[in-house]
Structure 1
Amino acid sequence: MKLDAAHAAPDSWECRTIGEACERITSGGTPSRREPSFYEGGSVPWVKTKELNDGVIFATEELITERALASSSAKLLPAGTILLAMYGATVGMLGVLGKPMACNQACCALIPSADTDRDYLYYQLLAHREQLQGLATGAAQQNLSGAQIKQLVLPFPALDEQKSIGKMLRILDDRITLLRETNATLEAIAQALFKSWFVDFDPVRAKMEGRTPEGMDEATAALFPDGFETSELGEVPRGWQVRPLDSVANYLNGLALQKFPPTGSDDLPVIKIAQLRKGDAVGADLASRAIKPDYVVQNGDVLFSWSGSLEVEIWCGGEGALNQHLFKVTSSQYPKWFYYLWTRHHLDNFRQIAASKATTMGHIQRSHLSAAKVVVGSDAVLDSANGILSPLIDRIVSNALQAQTLSTLRDTLLPRLISGQLRLDENVGAINA
Structure 2
Amino acid sequence: MKFRWETEFKETEIGKIPKDWEVKRIEDIGEVSGGTTPSTKRKEYWDGDIPWITPEDLAEYEYRYISKGKRNITKKAVEDISIKLYPPGTVLLTSRAPIGYVAIAKNYLATNQGFRNIIPKNSKIVSEYLYYLLKILKRPLESMAGGSTFPELSGSTLKKVLIPYPPPPEQSRIATVLSWFDDLIENKKKQNEILEKMAMAIFKSWFVDFEPFQDEEFVYNEELGREIPKGWEVRRFGDISEFYDHKRIPLSEIERQKKRGSYPYYGANGVIDYIDDYIFDGKYLLVAEDGTVTDARGFAVAEIVEGKFWANNHVHVIQGKNSVPTEFLYLVLKHTPIEPYVTGAVQPKLNQKNFAKILVLLPPQPILQSFHSLVEPLFQKIILNQKQIMTLRKVRDTLLPLLVFGKLRVEEI
Query: Please, what TM-score do these two structures have when normalized by structure 2?
Result: 0.80
Report the alpha carbon displacement of residue 419 of structure 1 after superposing the two structures with TM: 0.8
Match among 264, 271, 274 for residue 280 of structure 1:
271
Alignment of 1:118-157 (within 5 A): 118-157=127-166
Structure 1 residues 197-249: Cα deviation after superposition (integer angstroms, max 9, x where no partner): 023312222xx4xxxxxxxxxxxxxxxxx332466666332454555544443
The answer for the alignment partner of 1:102 in structure 2 is 110
Give the conservation status (yes or no) of the 8 Å contact 1:297–1:322.
no
Distance 1:244 1:134, change over 3 A: closer
Report the alpha carbon displacement of residue 333 of structure 1 after superposing the two structures with TM: 2.1
Alignment of 1:316-395 (within 5 A): 318-320=308-310, 323=313, 326-331=316-321, 333-346=323-336, 348-349=337-338, 351-355=339-343, 363-365=351-353, 369=356, 372-377=359-364, 379=366, 381-395=367-381
Match among 286, 304, 310 for residue 314 of structure 1:
304
Distance 1:306 1:97, change over 3 A: closer
**C-alpha distance in 2 between matches for 1:405 and 1:93:** 22
**C-alpha distance in 1 between matches for 2:344 and 2:150:** 30
**C-alpha distance in 1 between matches for 2:259 and 2:145:** 38
Q: Is the partner of 2:15 in helix, strand or coil?
A: helix
Amino acid at match of 1:277: A
Structure 1 residues 310-365: Cα deviation after superposition (integer angstroms, max 9, x where no partner): 6443136951157597342243623332233235545x34x4134389x9956342
**Any stretches of 5+ residues in structure 2 without a counterpart?**
1-10, 294-299
Alignment length, in residue pairs? Answer: 386
Q: Is the partner of 1:76 in helix, strand or coil?
A: coil
**C-alpha distance in 2 between matches for 1:5 and 1:182:** 44
Alignment of 1:40-119 (within 5 A): 40=47, 42-52=48-58, 53=61, 55-86=64-95, 88-113=96-121, 114-119=123-128
Q: Is the partner of 1:93 in helix, strand or coil?
A: strand
**C-alpha distance in 2 between matches for 1:237 and 1:426:** 64
Distance 1:384 1:371, change over 3 A: closer
**C-alpha distance in 2 between matches for 1:298 and 1:146:** 47
Report the alpha carbon displacement of residue 85 of structure 1 after superposing the two structures with TM: 1.6
Give the conservation status (yes or no) of the 8 Å contact 2:45–2:77.
yes
**C-alpha distance in 2 between matches for 1:244 and 1:38:** 45
Distance 1:305 1:360, change over 3 A: closer
The answer for the alignment partner of 1:211 in structure 2 is none
Q: Is the partner of 2:88 in helix, strand or coil?
A: coil
Amino acid at match of 1:195: K
Structure 1 residues 253-283: Cα deviation after superposition (integer angstroms, max 9, x where no partner): 4237489xx8988999896xxx332211417
Structure 1 residues 285-326: Cα deviation after superposition (integer angstroms, max 9, x where no partner): x9x87xxxxxx3236421345677464431369511575973
The answer for the alignment partner of 1:26 in structure 2 is 33
Give the conservation status (yes or no) of the 8 Å contact 1:322–1:328.
no
Distance 1:35 1:11, change over 3 A: same
**C-alpha distance in 2 between matches for 1:56 and 1:4:** 32
**C-alpha distance in 2 between matches for 1:424 and 1:141:** 40
**C-alpha distance in 2 between matches for 1:404 and 1:5:** 34
**C-alpha distance in 2 between matches for 1:398 and 1:5:** 44
* Larger displacement relative to structure 2 (120-129 or 192-201): 192-201
**C-alpha distance in 2 between matches for 1:411 and 1:9:** 19
Report the alpha carbon displacement of residue 30 of structure 1 after superposing the two structures with TM: 2.8
**C-alpha distance in 1 between matches for 2:203 and 2:384:** 21
The answer for the alignment partner of 1:178 in structure 2 is 187
Report the alpha carbon displacement of residue 415 of structure 1 after superposing the two structures with TM: 0.4
Give the conservation status (yes or no) of the 8 Å contact 1:298–1:315.
no
**C-alpha distance in 1 between matches for 2:222 and 2:397:** 52
The answer for the alignment partner of 1:235 in structure 2 is 227
Distance 1:243 1:140, change over 3 A: closer
**C-alpha distance in 2 between matches for 1:95 and 1:16:** 21
Name the one with the larger strand percent. Answer: 2
* Larger displacement relative to structure 2 (316-325 or 120-129): 316-325
Report the alpha carbon displacement of residue 127 of structure 1 after superposing the two structures with TM: 0.8
The answer for the alignment partner of 2:46 in structure 1 is 39
* Larger displacement relative to structure 2 (27-36 or 77-86): 27-36
The answer for the alignment partner of 1:188 in structure 2 is 197
Distance 1:93 1:343, change over 3 A: closer
Q: Is the partner of 2:38 in helix, strand or coil?
A: coil
Report the alpha carbon displacement of residue 110 of structure 1 after superposing the two structures with TM: 1.0
Give the conservation status (yes or no) of the 8 Å contact 1:336–1:390.
no
The alignment yields a C-alpha RMSD, in angstroms, of: 3.6
State the identity as a percent. 28
**C-alpha distance in 2 between matches for 1:5 and 1:318:** 43
Q: Is the partner of 1:301 in helix, strand or coil?
A: strand
**C-alpha distance in 2 between matches for 1:67 and 1:258:** 50
Q: Is the partner of 1:176 in helix, strand or coil?
A: helix
Structure 1 residues 369-411: Cα deviation after superposition (integer angstroms, max 9, x where no partner): 37734322351x3343223200111111111111111111111
The structure with the larger Rg is: 1
The answer for the alignment partner of 1:252 in structure 2 is 244
Distance 1:276 1:186, change over 3 A: farther
Match among 148, 168, 171 for residue 159 of structure 1:
168
Match among 258, 274, 280 for residue 297 of structure 1:
280
Give the conservation status (yes or no) of the 8 Å contact 1:276–1:315.
no
Query: Please, what TM-score do these two structures have when normalized by structure 1?
Result: 0.77
Give the conservation status (yes or no) of the 8 Å contact 2:268–2:314.
no
